[in-house]
Amino acid sequence: MSVTRARPLLVDPHRSGNDCAHCGARAHSVCNAIDARDLDRLAAVAVQLSVEPGRSFIDEGDPAESFFNVTAGTAKLFKLLPDGRRQITGFAGPGHFLGLAVSASYSFSAEAVELMRICRFSRTKLRTLLDDFPAMEKRLLEVASNELVAAQEQMLLLGRKTARERLASFLIARSEMPVHCLGHKPGSAETVLLPMTRSDIADYLGLTIETVSRTLTKLKGEGLIEIPSTETIIIRRHVALDGIATGVDSGGTR
């Protein structure tokens, strides 16, 4: 399998702290650890790029020279086996900070599934910035810790959960992402955006496309969700779906 390398477009080489202050992803990003009065320094070390769908901006094995903060759009994160098979390990959206490699090279690849905007930080320049802003460094450590928790959750999802539980877990997790909660109030319907393909979802969950489609149809038939389009799921019964995700009411088979 070949991966199309990114040809990102420089959006604005003369960004200012004011741009960072109005970034929609800042509230959910590590960048909010920096006070508004210091955003000019953050903007000075950031390069804003856009990435077209299907293009990668992190390639497994490449030198880990940069970090990336997602400000818009969604990326799929994956690893490639020597024979070309791919395993999607996660999806990243606005607020996610990528590239915190513990080694000299990236351990995964990241590819845009829709038009994305990202801020790229040179590892060297960001290191200098962190020396002056320990609060941001603390946030980065929290991000790294959360990634370990997410990895453990993924192991549980693939190793022990049924197909029904996996789909329910995926939808609940997507609904809890701040950028996907569109005016949700307790007890009301939730609109969950799924810009990735059914094939990507199946890859991530360790299922076949047919199993994903069949399980979604069954959840719809039970009145738990609605499927107005391939990119949109409406959760009608959040508590019941969460019960399936946590194994309280699993039902179905693997």
Say yes or no: do domains 9-150 and 161-245 share a fold. Answer: no
Q: What is the pLDDT along the chain (254 residues), one digit of tens a residue?
A: 444 454 544 444 445 555 776 777 777 777 777 777 777 888 888 898 999 999 999 999 999 999 899 999 999 999 988 888 888 999 999 888 888 766 789 989 999 999 999 999 898 888 888 788 888 777 777 776 666 666 667 776 776 789 999 999 999 999 987 654 444 444 457 999 999 999 999 999 999 999 999 999 999 999 999 999 999 999 999 999 999 998 876 454 44
Q: Rounded to 5 degrees, what angle do the CA atoms 14, 20, 23 make?
A: 120
DSSP string, 100-133: --SSSB-SSEEEESS-EEEEEEEHHHHHHHHHH-
Q: Where do we find the tokens 């070949």?
A: 2
End-to-end CA, the chain: 28
The pLDDT of residue 3 is: 46
Q: Where do we find the tokens 């513990």?
A: 102
DSSP-assigned beta bridge partners for residue 77: 90, 110
Nearest to 97 by CA among 25, 155, 34: 25
Coil vs helix vs strand at 157:
helix
How is residue 142 annotated by DSSP?
H
The pLDDT of residue 73 is: 93
Q: What pLDDT, in 10s, does the model give residues 193-228?
A: 999 999 999 999 999 999 999 999 999 999 999 999
Is the distance from CB of 189 to CB of 135 less than 8 angstroms?
Answer: no
Is the distance from CB of 60 to CB of 106 less than 8 angstroms?
Answer: yes
DSSP-assigned beta bridge partners for residue 9: 50
The pLDDT of residue 9 is: 45
Sheet of 116-122: strands edge to edge?
9-10, 46-51, 116-122, 66-72, 97-98
State the architecture of 9-150 in CATH terms: Sandwich (2.60)
What is the SS3 assignment for 9-63? EECCCCCCHHHHHCCCCHHHCHHHHCCHHHHHHHHHCEEEEEECCCCEEECCCCE
Check if CATH label 3.30.70.360 holds for domain 161-245: no
DSSP-assigned beta bridge partners for residue 153: none
Per-domain boundaries in the chain: 9-150, 161-245
The pLDDT of residue 139 is: 77
The pLDDT of residue 8 is: 46
- Tokens matching residue 52: 């077209």
